[in-house]
Amino acid sequence: MIVAVVPGSFDPITAGHMDIIKRVSNLYDKVIIGVVVNPSKKPLFSLEDRVKMVKEAIRDNKKIEVDSFNGLLVEFVKKHGARVIIRGLRAVSDFEHEFQMAQLNRRLNSDVETMFVMASPEYAYLSSSVVKEIAQYGGNISGLVPPNVDESLRDALA
């Protein structure tokens, strides 16, 4: 059984995340979404809320589980018996940081492979930050986030 981990801040989960998660879940036996604590990024949503939103968004897919972590990603991967880290690539600008992290993670644990999934063109411009920015100014974010997130964002910013 091959288990893949999709790590991220998910502050909040967007349609772009959902797209890569769904595509990846067709390739692996099990997918663990790893919501990272990451206080240095000053998230809008608490860890609990981010996990809750991801859980609600993926609840129809039995192959996907959600967990959170603090600390080294490779330790989280090992804890779940996974062998693959999945990261999404939107633009060339994502590449440098992703390349560095993949190399470092391989150095920390060479049994774990990082695989990259290209963003679908319709979501290539989408990030949690732009969604928050649009929502903050009252713009329409339907279609950019799962429906449950649309509601939570409006509540959070009200």
Instruction: Look up 41 and say whether it is catalytic.
Output: yes
Instruction: Look up 46 and say whether it is catalytic.
Output: no
CB 20 within 8 A of CB 138: no
**Shortest Å distance, C-beta 125 to ligand ADP:** 7
123 near ligand ADP (CB under 6 A): yes
Per-residue contact flags (x/-) with ligand ADP for residues 37 to 76, judged by CB under 6 A = ----------------------------------------
Contacting ligand ADP within 130-149 (CB under 6 A): none
**Shortest Å distance, C-beta 123 to ligand ADP:** 4
Q: How far apart are CA 135 and CA 94, in angstroms?
A: 24
Q: Which is nearer to ligand ADP, 9 or 148 (CB)?
A: 9
DSSP state of 18: H
Instruction: Look up 17 and say whether it is catalytic.
Output: yes
**Shortest Å distance, C-beta 119 to ligand ADP:** 3
Instruction: For residue 128, count other CB atoms closer than 10 A to its CB.
Output: 23
Say whether 31 sits in a helix, a strand or coil. strand
Burial 35-69 (b: 16+ CB within 10 A, else e): bbeeeeeebbbebebbbbbbbbbbeeeeebebebb
Instruction: Look up 90 and say whether it is catalytic.
Output: yes
- Which residues are within 8 A (CB) of 46 and not within 5 positions of it... i.e. 6 or more apart? none
Half-sphere exposure of 115 (CA within 13 A, CB side): 18
**Shortest Å distance, C-beta 141 to ligand ADP:** 13
Active site residues: 17, 41, 90, 128
* Residue numbers at the binding site for ligand ADP (CB under 6 A): 8-10, 14, 16-17, 20, 87-88, 90, 94, 119, 123, 126-128
